Each structure stands twice: as structure tokens, then as C-alpha cells.
Amino acid sequence: MKKPNVILLLADDLGYGDLSCYGGVGVSTPHIDALLEHGIQFADGYSTSAVCTPARYSILTGEYPFRNPNTRILPGNAPCIIAKEKGTLPKIFQKAGYRTAAIGKWHLGLGNNDIDWNREISHTPNDVGFDYSYIFPATNDRVPCVYLKNRLVENLDPNDPIEVSYAAECPFDDIPTSVRNPEMLRMVHSHGHDNSIVNGVGRIGFMRGGAKAVWKDEDLSEQFLSEAKKFIAENKEQPFFMYYALHQPHVPRVPNPKFVGASGLGPRGDVIAEMDDCIGQLTAYLEEQGLLEDTILIFSSDNGPVLDDGYLDNAELCNRKMQHKPAGPLRGGKYSKFEGGARIPLILSWKSHLKPTVSHALVSQVDFAASFAAMLGVDLEDWAPDSRNVMDAFLGETMEGRGEIFAESVSKGYFLRQGKWTYMQPSDGPARNYHTNTELGNSHDPQLYNMAYDQGQRENVAQLHPDLVEQMDARIEEILASTHTR
């Protein structure tokens, strides 16, 4: 078999109802929908977490986040949480003779607690299996707002060194901050995001210097796309794997001017339109290069949707007007233990191999590692301890998936899905996220939902099925006490 190229496209905070092919109302994503002309649409695809860093950790390591105590939303100056010796998804591809690249959002930490942004950085994507990387360090709302190419900040000016701090008080008295210089803001924050001002937007964290290196939010999408194309052009003679982490529709939502007003859904809809266009351009480029037939394109999201995640950009109002429900029929969203947190759009497209299919197989992003290892004949040994080979399900050859889904909320509350049942362990904590108003799914009572008729998790039937509750709770405890589940 000719080894296919693999491009894993991962959106940031895109919900189950945010794509028109997933039945999203008031939204139009024609280019992503077109992936389904030769693709499998997973109705029951999951990430392992309702937030970013843990979900991405699982994709890249094939391991549940709870096994690494550092899997939480990381600040922009956190050390890399994937150890250099760890088995990873890109290393599996490298073993199979692929060239590998990470493009886009990283958010898994950099360096080893020693980061100096003005020198070569010691621990980057290049140390965990990527031959090439062109990323931003954390999130688009966290400093430093710069591109990192392999080990160096791009456009670094030695006369204008970069300093970064996540201290509670601003340690630099000569930089603009949202508190000191509200007149410089072009976007109003609702919670947090009142530290450094970069490109007219308040961020999390303080940053000084690096004027030539800071990004323009409007350019992020095109910049990453052009890097992706360059990598493809330079590596088309052998198979390649590209982890392409799109920054949309995470806050701050600042589309290129070409997309302002494109969706009728306000900035959140506009950046989704921008992202969709980006996928269209990428697909067209692959076609032009004669590569589309032999390239597997996976499209997914790291976690569920959120509307006000710290900036007042009218997302809620615009959605209401268009009756757009970003989590579709699901309850909760980003941060949540309800299905809206970790059940995400997941599409696998392969022009020369697949017909349009909707699959209800239970699959998780943690399975990419073992599935591609099996496809490529790579021996996993003890790598990817929670990843299962469900390649037959990914390719639509069977509707049987992994049997169980295990995932966590922002506060490490756990849920387990087996067949039609989703069980959520009792937990302390608030019913809603104070900032975003998302229903978090925390309850002192055990919760059991029958997904066959209750996708929206409205009717807790735990009391009707005490044996099932006991058995599923015990399984969660068993997973938490285990060293692997593969």
C-alpha cells in the first residue's frame, strides 16, 4: 500500500453544532462539508477533555490526561508537558518514514522552566516528534503573541528583547495594559484579559518588547496556511504527517477583514467562515499538487463551544438572532462534563478510498495513535497506553468503535460512555462556570443519561438503574487506578 499523507486539522473550541454538515442552524461551512463527499462523519466522536491542553495531550500521546498531573490550561510560559522520551503520534509517523510538522496553536508548553524567548528554546514540538514546527506558544489570548519557528521566535530583534510574566501584578511599568490604557483597546473584555495590550486586544499575561515579532490577529489564518502549503510543497516526495491546529474560533475572534460580516453571525461566525475558507484553500492546494487522492484529512475540534470566553463580541446575541446552537442538541459546552464539553465534530476524509458515510461508532481522538500505528505497521510497545486501534471504524468499515469513552471536565470531573449510556460521577463544584455561564454538569448526585433518546441529557435516570450506575462508577475508578487501558 502506498502510505497516505495525513493531515490532522484541529479547530479550537468549535462545537458539535457549528458545522452545517452536523446540522448546524444559521451557519454555513461548505468546504468542511465537502470533506464528506469522500469521508466518514462521526456522530459520536469525542476528545478526552472539555478543555484544550488535556485534549491535545491525549491526541499527541495516546494517553488519558489524568496520567500527567500537568494537563491543565497552561499559561504561555509553562514548560513543555510532553517529555522528550515519550512515545507520540508524530514519532509513530516518523518510524513509518514520514516527515512530520506541527503548524498553528501549540499550548502544550515550551522549554524546561528556563524559557528565554530571545534564544533557542530547548524543548519544542521538534523534541517530541515533529521535524518542523511553526506555532504560537499557547492560545491567541495569551502572551507571548509571537510565532515560533522550530526553536526561535520569528522576527526576533536582539535590540528589543522579549520578556514575559504571568505574575498577578504587572512587573513592567512601561508597557500598555488594559487597566492602565483602556483607550488603546478595540475589543472590550468581560473577564480576565486585562493584562498586556497587543494589537489593540487585552491578553492574559504581561509581555514587553518584541515589537517586530508580535503577530497581527487578522493575519494568523493566512500565515499558518502559507506555512502549511510550504511544508507540503517541500515534503511531497515522501509521505508526511501534518498536525495543523487552527486557532479559530477561540477568543479573541479577530478575522481577516475579508471575513468581517461574512457569516451574519458576528465575529464568532466570521472566524468560522474564515476557518472554513482556509480548509477550502488547503484542499484546493492538495488537489493542485496532485496529492488529494492520497491524503487522509481529519477534521475535529479540541473541545466544545463557548460564547463569552472573556470578550464582549456579541456571540450570544448573534446566535440567538440566527437560532444558532453551537453545541447543537448537546447540553453544556467547553469546560463541561455534559456531552457538549468533549463530544466534538470529527470527520475523516480520503478521496481515493471513502464514500460518504455517517458513523455512530464510539471513537475518541486518543485512538489516532494506535490506529495509525496499526495501519502503518509500527509496533507501539508501551507507547500510547490508552489508545486503541479502531482504524476499521475510522475508515467506516465497521460501526463498532472502542466500546467505551472516558473524558474529563475542566475540573477533572469524569464521565464514561458505554453504548447508549453516559454516566457522570458525582462532583463538588458549581453548576455553572461563573464567567461563561456554561452548565458544568457538577452535581452531588450520580447522573446517568440514555443517549439513545436523550442527547440533551435532560432526564437523569440514575435512580432507575442503580446496578448500571455502580458498575460504570467502578469502571471509572478502575481506569483511574490503572496504568493503561489498551
Residues engaged in binding Ca ion (CB under 5 A): 12-13, 52, 302-303
DSSP, collapsed to helix, strand or coil, labels residue 165 as strand
Q: CB under 5 to 8 A by kind: which of Ca ion, ligand NG6, none does 435 bind?
A: ligand NG6
- Whole-angstrom CA distances from 367 to 20, 239, 388 are 26, 21, 5
Q: CB under 5 to 8 A by kind: which of ligand NG6, Ca ion, none does 315 bind?
A: none
Q: CB under 5 to 8 A by kind: which of ligand NG6, Ca ion, none does 251 bind?
A: ligand NG6
**Structural contact between residues 44 and 16, judged by C-beta atoms closer than 8 angstroms:** no
- Enter the C-alpha cell of residue 417: 460512555
Distance CA 133, CA 244 (A): 10
The nearer residue to ligand NG6, 248 or 349, going by C-beta atoms, is: 248
The nearer residue to ligand NG6, 52 or 198, going by C-beta atoms, is: 52
The nearer residue to ligand NG6, 90 or 205, going by C-beta atoms, is: 205
Q: CB under 5 to 8 A by kind: which of Ca ion, ligand NG6, none does 320 bind?
A: none
Q: CB under 5 to 8 A by kind: which of ligand NG6, Ca ion, none does 107 bind?
A: ligand NG6
Distance CA 205, CA 74 (A): 12
CA angle in degrees (0–180, nearest 5) for 89-93-97:
165
CB of 10 to Ca ion, least distance (A): 9
CB of 13 to Ca ion, least distance (A): 4
CB of 189 to ligand NG6, least distance (A): 9
The nearer residue to ligand NG6, 177 or 359, going by C-beta atoms, is: 177
CB of 466 to ligand NG6, least distance (A): 35
Q: CB under 5 to 8 A by kind: which of ligand NG6, Ca ion, none does 227 bind?
A: none
Helix or strand holding residue 416 (H, E):
strand 414-418
The nearer residue to ligand NG6, 266 or 401, going by C-beta atoms, is: 266
The C-alpha cell 477533572 sits at 412
The nearer residue to ligand NG6, 139 or 422, going by C-beta atoms, is: 139
Residue type, 443: S
CB of 406 to Ca ion, least distance (A): 19
Distance CA 177, CA 117 (A): 20
The nearer residue to ligand NG6, 139 or 349, going by C-beta atoms, is: 139
- In the DSSP assignment, the letter for residue 195 is S
CA angle in degrees (0–180, nearest 5) for 41-11-192:
140
Pairing of strands 99-105, 132-136: parallel
Helix or strand holding residue 466 (H, E):
helix 466-481
CB of 65 to ligand NG6, least distance (A): 12
Distance CA 324, CA 264 (A): 11
How crowded is residue 351: how many other Cβ atoms within 10 Å of its Cβ? 20
Binding-site ranges for ligand NG6 (CB under 6 A) = 12-13, 51-52, 73, 107, 139, 141, 191-192, 204, 250-251, 309-310, 435
CB of 302 to Ca ion, least distance (A): 4
